[in-house]
Amino acid sequence: MNIQSFAQFITPIPVTEEKWVQDVKVKKGKMTKMLDIPDGKTVTDVYGGDPKKLAKDLYKATKDDKSEANGMLAFAGNVSHKKPNLFTKAQQELEIVDGDKS
C-alpha cells in the first residue's frame, strides 16, 4: 500500500458556507391560494402588521384545522431568515385562536 495515496484519501474536503435560505423565492402556494391573496401580492404584503388576523383567517380557511394551519405557518416561518417574522408571530396567535369565529 502506498502511504502517500492513503494520506490523500483521508484528507478532509474543504467546506464552504452557503447562505441558501436567504435567497429562497417561495412560489404561490397553498396558504396563498387558501387566503385568496391577489396576484402580485404576498401574504406579508396583505397581513404585514397583523399576525392575529393572519392566524384567524388561516384557521377559518382550513375549516378550523389548527394542525394544518400550524403546519403551513411553521413552513413559511422557517423559510424566512428573519426571526421572529409574521408567520412565527401568527403561529403564536394561532395557539389562542380556539374556535373564535369573530
pTM score > 0.85 for this model? no
- Mean pLDDT computed over 10-23: 56
Of residues 1 and 90, the one with the higher pLDDT is 90
Would you state the pLDDT for residue 1?
A: 52
- Kindly report the number of other CB atoms within 10 A of residue 84's CB atom: 13
Task: Look at residues 55, 27, 53 and name the one whose alpha carbon lies nearest to residue 42.
Answer: 27
